Amino acid sequence: MARLGPLLWGLVKIRWRTLLGRGSAEITGEVLLLLASALAAERFLNYLPELPIGAVVAGLAAAWLAMSWGPEGAPPQFPLTRVDRMVVRLTEVAVNPLSWVLLYVTAQVSPWVLAIAVLAVFEWPVVQRGKRVSAGPSRWPALLRKDVRAALRLFDTMIAGGITLMFFAYAVREPNMAVEAAWIVPVVVAISNSNLTLNAFGTDNGTGFDRYLLLPMSGAGIVRSKTQSLLVLLGTLLGLVCLAVFWRLGWAIGVTIFIESLSLMLLMAGWGAWTSVHTPFPLRAYRFTDGGSVLAGLVAFGLCLIPGFAAASGLWWVRFVVLGGAFAMAWQLVGTAGRRLESRRELIRARLP
Amino acid sequence: MSIRAAGLVKRFGEFTAVAGVDLTVEAGAIHGFLGPNGSGKSTTVKMLTGLLIPTAGTVEIDGISLAADPVAVKRSIGVLPEDLALFNALTLWEHLTLAGPLYGLTAAETEERAGQLLRYLDLFAERHTEAGQASYGMRKKTAFALALLHNPKTLFLDEPFEGIDPSSAENMRELLVGLAAKGAAIFITSHILDVVEKLVGTYSILSGGKVVASGRTGDRPLKDVYFEHIPRPAGEEFAWLG
């Protein structure tokens, strides 16, 4: 085991260098998600059936195996033995301060969220890496297709999709849907997808960003293309939520949630365009991601709550004021981000691997 | 003239990567840009193609200033960059079909040209492989095809033959010679002196961010000129090796 000493010490140094290099003030999409889940747990998660503890343990054990032996993210087969690899994986988790924060926070909430957190800290590896491509009809513009395909490989987006589907399942099962769930879920969906929203170039890596710069597109054109992709993705998820609400709660509340969803999309498009250009960080397929700006994350969180509160307020004019404000903000920030991209291209490129 | 750079400087903080490079490449010429690792070749190419903003200096392509009208310049140039600049989530074929319409080609034209290029580069059968799953050589050939797809008047190729199989490299070389004969200006960086000597008409040698030599191939063996300006590290005896 002593021969692993330098390797384990190297892992510790890498983790701390990463934290210190970016500044210790970091916030993660996972933490935002957990906060949002904690808020929603009281109203939403209570409707889920209680799982027997044995099922949770079995699920976690299966996840452990999948996470430990996958082809990506797992320690190399040679020259490490099986025991060595387990030690390395455990050390990777243990030296990550995020692991302990997540463990503490999620233990307070529910086994469901705990399971999500376990996936997060262990960075679930790719199970299938194939050539087959599926996302998006072939007639979609290639840049949009590329963005959607990359987004569907992010755990954050998968969770946003999972929450949407769970809500849809809840609507199917429960004819008397709680109104509170209707206005909370769009907020949770938007927040859980915030890593992608706030890092539009994160899925492209540096090489993809270079291609954007080489194509005959202006900075504004590049940002508009990214915004379009985000709106398609978020619009699909929130559209499903709206459908469920229209179905179960009728037109009046349905329109309220539609306006809330539209406001959320516009706010996230605007703020996302701004942060994508100003505080970019990489996103990895089949991984949760840490990094980014505390301020950007908190502002996104705050922005997402505004349409939710407006929907809950019962005042029609407030909802329209929020929608108008969201539109103005999106218009202004997407335009400004497009102009800023030209001058900030080196900074963005330097922060993407 | 097709490529004109004057007084190009690039600093990263205190470090000066390129310290005042002047270049002119005429239409119909193939220009070799040589130098050791870290000499500033790729940084220069990135400034010439708009990937990096020069700290000082100007770049003009076909008389259009890169700083004043970057989109017009990008429309007229083809680039094979150092890191290939591909999207991992797109297939090799999708890269080409994405790029064609952005350069004003119709879908039919794009598909015809893309198919022809990929067949010539022995890549057609693998065209539906995602770039993220493709080998380095496949990615490089795709980036090369992307550089040619819109029939640019000016080409920038950063190490085009590195990692390419011999038959594809020969086809690439033939394409470049043909393109130059039709009036394109081609700017190539490379470490492989033998290949460069056979392909290019003029060259510049870069060291420490400055052009230390330039001339026409054929006047003197390129290797002699290169090692005259870029000395090899002193010999070491590796008693432990072998």
Chain A contact probe: residue of B11, B87, B105 with most A CBs at under 10 A: B87
Which of B74, B83, B89 lies closest to A216 in CB terms?
Answer: B74
Label residue A60 by pLDDT band (50, 70, 90): very low
Determine the pLDDT at residue A112. Answer: 57
Q: A249, A177 in Cβ contact below 8 A?
A: yes
Label residue A127 by pLDDT band (50, 70, 90): very low
Nearest residue in chain A measured CA to CA from B12: A346
Instruction: Tell me, yes or no, if B87 comes closer than 8 A to chain A by beta carbon.
Output: yes
Determine the pLDDT at residue A296. Answer: 85
Q: Give the 3-state secondary structure of residue A44.
A: coil
Nearest residue in chain B measured CA to CA from A349: B51
A236 Cα to chain B: minimum distance (Å): 20
Interface residues on A facing B, Cβ-Cβ cutoff 8 A = 129-131, 133, 141-143, 145-147, 149-150, 153, 203-208, 210-211, 213-218, 285, 342-343, 345-346, 349
Which of B52, B71, B87 lies closest to A217 in CB terms?
Answer: B71
Task: Convert the pLDDT of each residue in A199-257 to its tens digit.
Answer: 899 888 889 999 999 999 999 999 999 999 999 999 999 999 999 999 999 999 999 99
Positions of E strands within chain B: 3-12, 15-25, 30-34, 56-61, 64-65, 77-80, 154-158, 185-189, 202-207, 210-216
Which of A210, A217, A349 lies closest to B102 in CB terms?
Answer: A217
Determine the pLDDT at residue A47. Answer: 46
Determine the pLDDT at residue A286. Answer: 66
CA distance B184 to B196: 17
Determine the pLDDT at residue A56. Answer: 47
Q: Give percent of chain A with pLDDT exceeding 90.
A: 32
10-residue stretch averages of pLDDT, chain B, 242 residues long: 90 93 94 93 94 95 93 94 90 91 90 96 91 91 96 95 92 94 94 87 94 90 91 86 86
CA distance A264 to A334: 15
A128 Cα to chain B: minimum distance (Å): 12
Label residue A136 by pLDDT band (50, 70, 90): very low
CB contact under 8 A, A133 and B128: yes
Residue A126 has pLDDT above 80, yes or no: no
Determine the pLDDT at residue B176. Answer: 95
What pTM does this model have?
0.78
Which of B85, B99, B102 lies closest to A210 in CB terms?
Answer: B85
Around A190, how many Cα atoms within 13 Å sit in the side-chain half-sphere? 31
Number of Cβ atoms within 10 Å of the Cβ of B219: 8
Residue A41 has pLDDT above 70, yes or no: no
Residue A57 has pLDDT above 70, yes or no: no
Q: Between A and B, how many residue pairs show a Cβ–Cβ distance under 8 A?
A: 84
CA distance B97 to B80: 17
CA B231 from centre of chain: 25
CA distance B135 to A180: 51
CB contact under 8 A, A133 and B91: yes
Tell me the average pLDDT across A261-284: 91
Closest listed residue to residue A139, CA positions, set B145, B101, B146, B118: B101
Label residue A134 by pLDDT band (50, 70, 90): very low
Nearest residue in chain B measured CA to CA from A219: B71
Task: Give the type of residue at A107.
Answer: A
CB contact under 8 A, A349 and B51: yes
Q: A340, B47 in Cβ contact below 8 A?
A: no
Complex-level ipTM: 0.90
A91 Cα to chain B: minimum distance (Å): 29
CA distance A222 to A200: 10
Chain B residues lying within 8 Å of A282, measured CB to CB: none
Number of Cβ atoms within 10 Å of the Cβ of A129: 14
Which of A204, A285, A343 lies closest to B87 in CB terms?
Answer: A204
Instruction: Tell me, yes or no, if B71 comes closer than 8 A to chain A by beta carbon.
Output: yes
Determine the pLDDT at residue A288. Answer: 61
Chain A residues lying within 8 Å of B158, measured CB to CB: none
